[in-house]
Each structure stands twice: as structure tokens, then as C-alpha cells.
């Protein structure tokens, strides 16, 4: 009497929508970071070449934006399952064993990312507590680390859940 297929489809559609929304936000954040990095770099180059003057704060911002660009690239690669895979045994395993190991490996990768997120939160809290007064303005950039590691962990889980929903139907 009750059909479970629409509920499963709705759940799968919801997971796909969440994954797509996260990817869109991450893409805009990465693109905005690259654009800001390029704009500030060009501005700094022009100031130094034409006016023999520059803002040292721009160099600090650029360093942090570069880290943000790199981490957002890693998040986007993870979300699209295009990240670096170091599974050397992949060629030796049968397709059934690969399918069985997919979930445990995704959980392991997600767990590692959540662990990195946890320790990066500790790092951020230490930075906020011990940073000299003249460097406190750069501290919001440190939030990049836990945010990106949490997003990577979520994408490992989301990708696996979406793949499981697809394979069931």
C-alpha cells in the first residue's frame, strides 16, 4: 500500500540539492578569493612600481587568500570526487570488493577530515588567545582551516550517501 520509492527519491534529491548548494557556495568563495588575490596583487605591484610605496598588510592578506584558494580547491575537488586517491591496491581488487570497501574508506577519510577540523579549531582558539595585538586583525583568516576540513568531511559523507542512494535504484 505504501510506496517507499518516492521517499527514497526525495531523500536522494535532497542530498543532491545540499551537495549542489554547497558546491555553488564553495565555487563562489574560491572564485572571489582568487579575484581578490589578483586584484590586491596588481594593486600592490602598481603601488610599488609607480609610487615606491606599498602596504605590508596586503602581503599578509594575500598569503592568507592563497591558503584559502588552495583549501577551497581541495574542498571542490573532494565534492566532485576529483581528489587525489592513493589507493595503490585498486588495480588488484575485484569490483565487488571495491564496492564493499567504498563506504568504510569514505567513513575513514571523513573521520580524518573531522579530526583535522577538531585540531584546527584548537589551533584557531590558541591563535585567538595568544596572538599579539597588532596581528589580531588577521585572525578571521584562521577560520579557513576548520571550515574547509569540515566541508571536506561532509563531502566525503555526502558523496557516499548520494552514491548509495543511486545504487539502490
Please list the pLDDT of the chain residue by residue as tens digits (169 residues): 445 544 545 677 888 899 899 999 999 999 999 999 999 999 999 999 999 999 999 999 999 999 999 999 999 999 998 887 777 777 788 888 888 888 998 999 999 999 999 999 999 999 999 988 888 899 999 999 999 999 999 999 999 988 877 777 6
CA distance 161 to 159: 6
CA distance 127 to 8: 44
CA distance 105 to 110: 8
Residue 132 DSSP SS3: coil
Q: Which cell numbers in the block locate residue 150?
A: 569540515
Number of CB atoms found within 10 A of residue 72's CB: 23
Residue 107's pLDDT is what?
A: 94
Residue 153's pLDDT is what?
A: 96
36-45, long-range: CB within 8 Å, 24+ apart, which pairs? Answer: 36/65, 37/62, 37/65, 37/66, 37/69, 40/65
CA distance 152 to 114: 8
Q: Which cell numbers in the block locate residue 31?
A: 572564485
Helix ranges, 3-143 (H): 5-51, 56-79, 95-130
Prediction pTM value: 0.85
Residue 80 has what DSSP assignment?
T
Measured in degrees and rounded to the nearest 5, phi and psi for residue 52 equal 50, 45
Residue 169's pLDDT is what?
A: 64
Q: 9, 166 in Cβ contact below 8 A?
A: no
Residue 2's pLDDT is what?
A: 46
Amino acid at each position: 500500500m505504501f510506496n517507499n520509492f518516492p521517499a527514497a527519491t526525495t531523500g536522494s534529491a535532497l542530498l543532491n540539492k545540499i551537495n549542489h548548494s554547497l558546491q555553488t557556495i564553495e565555487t563562489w568563495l574560491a572564485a572571489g578569493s582568487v579575484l581578490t588575490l589578483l586584484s590586491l596583487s596588481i594593486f600592490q605591484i602598481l603601488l610599488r612600481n609607480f609610487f615606491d610605496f606599498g602596504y605590508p598588510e596586503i602581503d599578509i592578506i594575500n598569503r592568507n587568500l592563497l591558503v584559502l584558494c588552495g583549501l577551497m580547491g581541495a574542498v571542490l575537488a573532494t565534492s566532485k570526487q576529483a581528489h587525489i586517491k592513493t589507493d595503490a591496491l585498486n588495480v588488484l581488487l575485484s569490483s565487488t570488493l571495491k564496492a564493499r570497501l567504498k563506504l568504510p574508506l569514505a567513513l575513514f577519510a571523513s573521520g580524518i577530515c573531522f579530526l583535522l577540523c577538531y585540531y584546527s579549531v584548537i589551533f584557531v582558539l590558541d591563535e585567538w588567545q595568544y596572538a599579539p595585538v597588532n596581528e589580531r586583525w588577521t585572525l578571521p583568516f584562521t577560520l579557513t582551516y576548520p571550515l574547509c576540513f569540515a566541508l571536506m568531511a561532509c563531502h566525503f559523507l555526502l558523496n557516499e550517501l548520494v552514491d548509495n542512494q543511486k545504487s539502490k535504484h
